[in-house]
Amino acid sequence: MKKLPIGIQTFRKIREEDYVYVDKTKEA
């Protein structure tokens, strides 16, 4: 199993998804 900065990747993914979610909420 490779050691990857999963914490950073997960944090970035959550930020991106949360940004899209908030952006869609503003559009609605």
Cα gap 26→13, rounded to integer Å: 20
Domain ranges of the chain: 1-27
Q: Give the N- to C-terminal CA distance of the chain in Å, as an integer.
A: 42
User: Three-state SS for 17?
Assistant: helix
Q: Identify the residue with better confidence: 10 or 28.
A: 10
pLDDT score for 7: 75
Predicted TM-score (pTM) of the model is 0.35
pLDDT score for 12: 82
Quickly state the pLDDT bin for 5 (edges 50, 70, 90).
Answer: low
Quickly state the pLDDT bin for 18 (edges 50, 70, 90).
Answer: confident
Cα gap 3→7, rounded to integer Å: 11
| Rounded average pLDDT over 1-28 | 75
